[in-house]
Amino acid sequence: MPALPGKSPQEVKDCILNGYNTNAVNPHDEYSMNRPAHILLVEDNRMDVELTLDAFREARLGNSVQVARNGQEALAYLQGAGTYADRNQFPLPDIILLDLKMPGIDGFEVLRRAKAMPGIKRIPVIILTSSKDEGDRALSYDCGANSYLVKPVSFEGFLKVVKEVQDYWVVLNVGPPKEEPS
């Protein structure tokens, strides 16, 4: 069990099991361990969406996962436009899981635009793709990706990746400070 300053071993264990962020100090803070992390999954492949959601369910993680099925939908979600205007129903994500190869607005363009948006640019973006191409990896990091993960072929491998994303990005990682309005 990782040791975290100011957290008892039981608190850390509870946070890991429930998908809560252990880094919050103030229980009223938006990154409080009193709430699950909000994840935006941007994926056009229906089978990959189901695999990801099944892995989150199987891992019994308490995170809320919203799905954007293409780049245009992802950008509308991040901007709170149209269908996504209600931030109570569609909160800003704590993490974005982003596929690269999508028709129309691809993952690279979503990444470029997201990293240029005030209030959005500091949200960690984890590329979750089947591409092992070195050029895709380089361009992803050049555009501001925080991590690059290649989708495993097996469900067990995918489950392991989901748990590791949870453990690192939601539990252990200390996120960036909230951006001050200009």
Query: Structural domains in the chain?
Result: 1-35 (no CATH), 36-172 (3.40.50.2300)
pLDDT at 166: 84
**At a CB cut-off of 8 Å and minimum separation 6, what does 135 contact?**
none
Over the stretch 82-104, which tens digit does the pLDDT of each residue have?
999 999 999 999 999 999 999 99
For 90, counting Cβ atoms within 10 Å of its Cβ (0-12 exposed, 13-18 middle, 19+ buried), the class is middle
Predicted confidence at residue 8, as pLDDT, reads: 57
**For position 154, what pLDDT does the model report?**
87
What is the Cα–Cα distance from 60 to 1, expressed in whole angstroms?
A: 18
pLDDT tens-digit series, residues 13-42? 554 444 444 444 333 344 444 467 899 999
Any idea what DSSP says for residue 65?
Answer: E
What integer pLDDT is reported at residue 9 of this predicted model? 56
Instruction: Name the stretches of the chain with pLDDT < 70.
Output: 1-35, 180-182
What pLDDT does 6 receive?
A: 52
The predicted structure's pLDDT at residue 65: 92
**Residue 170 neighbours by CB under 8 Å, 6+ apart:** 19, 20, 21, 37, 63, 94, 95
The C-alpha atoms of residue 164 and residue 87 are separated, in whole angstroms, by 28
DSSP bridge pairs for 126: 97, 147
Give the per-residue pLDDT at 42: 98
Determine the residue type at 47: M
